[in-house]
């Protein structure tokens, strides 16, 4: 089925940015689009899609050129996530976690040796995963039970991580563990753990409502030995790494939800022009026009919020409030627009033969991961009401 994009805030983009976004979207439509349903049903990311993402440089957008990356901006990474997610949010979150969480963390916090070891691989053939969440630490992100104990030149990790995106495909994991539970968040430390490390194993792969092609797995650490040289940043600074990268990651999820909403709007608009009832296209009915207009307005508002937050980040300005706002708002818009798209399709929207059913399922996660809507609202309230 042909894909139409939603309305675009073209004035917000330079010519190069617009060309980049449109090129990524064309790739997504032509090469990811035909595989979306099969990947969703198989709960498996197509290996060819992953290979092409690397070949196009979309998995290392912000990796500096000296390490083999594209040397691009955070804003360009956001444009890529938006464009890919308009076709398949499962692939969109793969690109998002790679760029906004894993690569960002290494570029900012890794030693020169770590950068030379991992950044070229992350730009060319290695997927990264970000392992923070546990059974007892979701919104309370730093209530970690995974322990790290120093033994000579090594650390020994024991514990479990849950809901880790990209886990099945990843070759490198940024793992957060606590050195001293009594120290609270000041004991949290980040480690770089490679796939295949002794004492490290993948556990259960989650059977999810949406973004099913994106792997979400449990990680199990049983006396996993990690050299001290694999500490990311400094011991006890893991909380700082997590906070800073997650703030950026929320803009990435905003871009994923924006792309999803724009994709759903495009499908709904196309269907409304083609579907006939009472002798004319349903788009000719004023009620349908108004519904599509309202959807388009919300998509445009979401886009401006995402772009603004990303621009602020690239400019070195404060963006915490804007990141929380765009993550909260876009997740609301994505669910609402995808739901209305199903209604535009009518009975056809409720079956898997058409794309909006999947987008509706995919939208739900936007209110949950990388900070629930409640946590975003708490952040927004603190940063706005506190100034009164």
- 4: in domain: no
- Both 353 and 294 in one domain: the answer is yes
- Both 157 and 259 in one domain: the answer is no
Structure tokens at 256: 């994923």
Q: What angle do the packed helices 74-85 and 286-314 form, to 10 degrees?
A: 150
**Alpha-carbon Rg of the chain, whole angstroms?**
21
- Both 378 and 248 in one domain: the answer is yes
Q: What is the pLDDT of residue 9?
A: 44
Query: Exactly one of 62, 82, 218, 370 is catalytic; which is it?
Result: 370
Range of the domain at 202: 129-236
- 115: in domain: yes
Domain boundary (103, 127, 151) is at 127
- Both 217 and 245 in one domain: the answer is no
Query: What's the CATH number where 346 sits?
Result: 1.20.140.10
- 3: in domain: no
CA distance 298 to 300: 5
Supply the pTM of this predicted model. 0.95
Domain boundary (236, 260, 277) is at 236
Domain boundary (176, 202, 236) is at 236
Question: Does residue 318 have an active-site annotation?
Answer: no
- Both 254 and 366 in one domain: the answer is yes
Q: What is the pLDDT along the chain (388 residues), one digit of tens a residue?
A: 334 444 444 447 999 999 999 999 999 999 999 999 999 999 999 999 999 999 999 999 999 999 999 999 999 999 999 999 999 999 999 999 999 999 999 999 999 999 999 999 999 999 999 999 999 887 887 789 999 999 999 999 999 999 999 999 999 999 999 999 888 889 999 999 999 999 999 999 999 999 999 999 999 999 999 999 999 999 999 999 999 999 999 999 999 999 999 999 999 999 999 999 999 999 999 999 999 999 999 999 999 999 999 999 999 999 999 999 999 999 999 999 999 999 999 999 999 999 999 999 999 999 999 999 999 999 999 999 986 6
Per the CB < 8 A criterion, the answer to whether 258 and 363 are in contact is: no
- Both 206 and 101 in one domain: the answer is no
- Structural domain tally of the chain? 3
């Amino acid at each position: 089925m042909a894909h139409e994009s939603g309305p675009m805030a073209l004035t917000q983009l330079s010519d190069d940015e617009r060309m980049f976004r449109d090129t990524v979207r064309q790739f997504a439509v032509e090469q990811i689009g035909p595989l979306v349903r099969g990947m969703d049903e198989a709960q498996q990311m197509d290996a060819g899609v992953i290979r092409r993402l690397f070949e196009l440089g979309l998995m290392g957008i912000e990796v500096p050129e000296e390490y083999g990356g594209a040397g691009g901006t955070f804003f360009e990474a956001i444009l890529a996530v938006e464009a890919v997610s308009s076709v398949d949010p499962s692939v969109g979150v793969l690109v998002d976690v790679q760029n906004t969480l894993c690569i960002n963390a290494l570029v900012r916090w890794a030693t020169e040796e770590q950068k030379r070891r991992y950044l070229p691989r992350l730009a060319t053939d290695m997927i990264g995963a970000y392992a923070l969440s546990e059974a007892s630490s979701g919104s309370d992100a730093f209530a970690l039970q995974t322990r790290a104990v120093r033994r000579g030149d090594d650390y020994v990790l024991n514990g479990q991580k849950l809901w880790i995106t990209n886990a099945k495909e990843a070759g490198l994991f940024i793992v957060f563990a606590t050195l001293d539970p009594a120290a609270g968040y000041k004991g949290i430390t980040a480690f770089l753990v490679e796939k295949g490390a002794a004492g490290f194993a993948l556990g259960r792969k989650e059977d999810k409502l949406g973004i099913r092609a994106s792997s979400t797995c449990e990680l199990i650490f049983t006396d996993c030995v990690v050299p001290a040289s694999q500490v990311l940043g400094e011991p006890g600074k893991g909380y700082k790494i997590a906070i800073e990268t997650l703030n950026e990651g929320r803009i990435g999820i905003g871009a994923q939800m924006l792309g999803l909403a724009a994709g759903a709007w495009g499908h709904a608009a196309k269907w409304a022009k083609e579907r006939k009832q009472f002798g004319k296209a349903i788009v000719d009915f004023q009620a349908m026009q108004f519904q599509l207009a309202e959807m388009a307005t919300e998509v445009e508002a979401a886009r401006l919020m995402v772009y603004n937050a990303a621009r602020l980040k690239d400019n070195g300005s404060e963006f915490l409030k804007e990141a929380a706002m765009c993550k909260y708002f876009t997740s609301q818009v994505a669910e609402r627009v995808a739901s209305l798209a199903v209604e535009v399709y009518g009975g056809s929207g409720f079956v898997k033969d058409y794309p909006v059913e999947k987008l509706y399922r995919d939208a739900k996660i936007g209110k949950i991961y990388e900070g629930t809507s409640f946590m975003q609202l708490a952040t927004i309230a603190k940063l706005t009401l506190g100034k009164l």
